[in-house]
Amino acid sequence: MTGEAVTYESADRVATITICRPESHNALAADVRDGLRDAFRRFQADDSVGAGVLTGAGGKAFCAGGDLKEMTAKASGQLGRDFVVMPGRNERVDKPWIAAVAGHAVGGGVLYTMLADMAVAASNARFKMPEAMISRGAPWSVAMAQQLPRKVWFEMAVLGRTMSAQRAHEVGLVNEVVEPDALADRAHEIAARIAASAPLTVAATRASIRAAAEMGLTAAWDVADQYFDRVYTSADAVEGPKAWVEKRDPVWKGI
């Protein structure tokens, strides 16, 4: 294997993180895991970007999950919560990011689709959780409780059935399905629109959505009010309506 396992690029306030191991179907070998952790940390620290896209090189696989050859060679037992970077669980990532999924998303590929704030799938995308077939586990899938119906979650995690892109869209795992040659452009179009939106509102909305998934409705409302207090009292709250009336693009300050 040559070259970087994971690349990071940025343009027009959008970061692109690409898993670059198509010869192994972008499996989560050690160099890929390290590269993803470094890339998400760079994304978090990069003030020039407001949103990101995670994708896999080659078009045949977004991510094939754990590298079983590596696990077998090392006789891996309990992998632990820090085995792979999971934005929002073991790594702080405050900016929204999108999963752009083409080809196979297996195990960890489903994980990153699920963790993303939005997901766009190519029509050739296929989602599969084979853990019950090989006596592994997917404790990370508890977050599916807020994304998928319980019976669909059980079906994926226990039966290990392959889910088509269209079915993933129907059950809410992905936002859109596009043709493979349109995937990158569509994901970047969405990310660019997010990056161009009022940053305080985007951040407060994202935090409110995550809070609502973890607490009761009344408590989540109270927390959301706190998040949006900063939005309503900001300079951007004046700039937004003013720019709308003046029919121009707003100039966000994030304050």
Domain ranges for the chain: 6-195, 198-245
- Taking only the tens place, the pLDDT of each residue in 139-182 is 777 888 888 998 998 999 899 899 999 999 999 999 999 999 99
How confident is the prediction for the chain on average, in pLDDT?
Answer: 90
pTM of the model: 0.89
What is the per-residue burial (b if ≥16 Cβ within 10 Å, else e) of 150-174?
eebbebbbeeeeebebebbbebebb
**What distance in Å separates the CA atoms of residue 60 and residue 88, rounded to the nearest whole number?**
27
Q: Which CATH architecture has domain 198-245?
A: Orthogonal Bundle (1.10)
Over residues 215-228, the mean pLDDT reads: 85
**What distance in Å separates the CA atoms of residue 104 and residue 101, rounded to the nearest whole number?**
8
Strand order through the sheet with 61-63: 61-63, 104-106, 126-128, 163-164
φ, ψ (nearest 5 deg) of residue 249: -75, 135
**Per-residue pLDDT band at 216 (split at 50, 70, 90):** confident
Which residues are registered as beta bridge partners of 118?
98
Burial class (CB in 10 A: 0-12, 13-18, 19+), 35: buried
Q: What is the pLDDT of residue 212?
A: 86
Instruction: Determine the topology of domain 6-195 in CATH.
Output: 2-enoyl-CoA Hydratase; Chain A, domain 1 (3.90.226)
Residue 126, pLDDT > 60, answer yes
Over residues 73-90, the mean pLDDT reads: 73
Q: What does the block give as tokens for 131? A: 């853990």
Q: What is the pLDDT of residue 1?
A: 42
Q: What is the pLDDT of residue 80?
A: 64
Residue 13, pLDDT > 60, answer yes
- How far is CA 228 from each of CA 26, 37, 88, 118, 199, rounded to the nearest angstrom? 39, 30, 20, 22, 12
Over residues 128-134, the mean pLDDT reads: 80
**What distance in Å separates the CA atoms of residue 149 and residue 255, rounded to the nearest whole number?**
39
Over residues 214-229, the mean pLDDT reads: 85
Burial class (CB in 10 A: 0-12, 13-18, 19+), 84: buried
Residue 77, pLDDT > 80, answer no
Closest CA relative to residue 119, chosen from 96, 99, 105: 99
Q: Which residues contact 251 (CB under 8 A, 6 or more apart)?
A: 239, 243
